[in-house]
Amino acid sequence: MDNGGFVDLSHFGAELMLAKTLFDYGARTPVVSALCGIKRKTATRIYRLAQEQAPIKGMLPWDPHWISRSTINNLHASIFLGLIQDYVSGRANGTELGLQFCNAYMLYCSIVAHNPKPCSREAGFEHHRVLDINRAWQLTRQFHASALHFVMCLCCQSRFLIPRQENQQAARCPVCENKTGSVARQHRISRPFSQNAGKTLTICLDRF
Ligand SMILES: [Zn+2]
């Protein structure tokens, strides 16, 4: 029997609602197809009905080194994957995984939208959402494949991401690393640290 591309009609409503929510957050059809457990053609049909236009074609964002490209990237990826680590079961699959992923991304959006002091780069994104939902899915797959790991920063005790190949005993997170570098630079130009202490983090983040 043709079930319209849905794997299990008993989950039709849940999959449809999940697909609609994911599309509203900018998810591409391959991502929706994977997270809802529906065929690509079905995801495309839902997109056309919900958004009244054809979905975007082309490659999904794929950069295995994205978290290492800037402090801000690492910060946002660490916030999101921290939620994935805490709230998404490693055993979840099908619609359950899709719902948990979607809830984690919505929570990430809510957290970053309330950033009282976004840096210039964050301010350039709608609601300071540096991490696009499609890249969030890519990072989740890397994380579940153990290509990314969390380690604890010895300075601020926050957890941050590093690639599998890197030394897992890394001492400082990128923010503290930049903060230290910034302080060293400030000493080199003979300015008292106390004058800059309150601004250091903002200055550092503004640079990325
Ligand atoms: Zn730190």
pLDDT band for position 189 (50/70/90)? very low
**pLDDT the model gives residue 183:** 54
The amino acid occupying position 110 is S
Q: How far is the CA of 30 from the centre of ligand 1 (A)?
A: 35
CA of 171 to the centre of ligand 1 (A): 8
Are the C-beta atoms of residues 43 and 50 closer than 8 Å to each other? no
156 C-alpha vs ligand 1 centroid, how far in Å?
A: 4
CA of 75 to the centre of ligand 1 (A): 10
Round to whole Å and give the CA distance between 185 and 141.
38
Out of 40-44, 88-92, 135-139, 168-172, which region has the weakest mean confidence (pLDDT)? Answer: 168-172
Apex 161 CA angle, 158 and 164, nearest 5: 140
pLDDT confidence of residue 168? 65
Mean pLDDT of the chain: 81
Please state which of the ranges 35-44, 49-58, 70-79, 147-156 shows the lowest mean pLDDT: 49-58
Residue 198 has pLDDT above 50, yes or no: no
Task: List the chain domain ranges.
Answer: 1-59
Listed residue (152, 105, 96) closest to 127, CA to CA: 105
The pLDDT, as a whole number, for residue 201 is 35
**Res 68 pLDDT > 80:** yes
Q: How far apart are the first and last CA of the chain?
A: 54
| pLDDT score for 165 | 76
Q: How many residues does the chain have?
A: 208
pTM: 0.79
Contact status, residue 202 vs residue 116, Cβ threshold 8 Å: no
| Model pLDDT for residues 130-187, shown as the tens digit of each residue | 999 999 999 999 999 999 999 999 999 999 999 987 766 657 888 888 877 655 554 4
Q: Ligand 1: distance of its center to the CA of 47 in Å?
A: 41
